[in-house]
Amino acid sequence: MTTQGKVNEAFLSTLDNRTFLTVIRNIANHYGISEDEVLEEVCDNEAENIMDYITGSIRQPVSRLFNQFKSNLS
């Protein structure tokens, strides 16, 4: 069984470096944690969907990327 953390990790691996850093920094700033802690949290076996962590103006464009990623899994 694939955990949500593994799905999040796979999604993040598809992003270009700029988008990856934008997403990680958005989450880090929102929760007041380091970028390393973000990666640990969103890739953990108990992680929620990565979209549950993302806030602000990047949420909609990242959601489109995430939905495209999910459709490519099918």
Per-residue 3-state assignment (H helix, E strand, C coil) for the chain: CCCHHHHHHHHHHHCCHHHHHHHHHHHHHHHCCCHHHHHHHHCCCCCCCHHHCCCHHHHHHHHHHHHHHHHHHC
Range of 12's domain?
A: 4-73
pTM of the model: 0.94
> CA-to-CA distance for 17 and 11, rounded, in angstroms?
13
Considering its fold, how many domains does the chain have in total? 1
> CA-to-CA distance for 71 and 35, rounded, in angstroms?
27
pLDDT tens by residue, 14-38: 999 999 999 999 999 999 999 999 9
Which comes out higher in pLDDT, residue 49 or 2?
Answer: 49
State the amino acid at position 45 in one-letter form: N
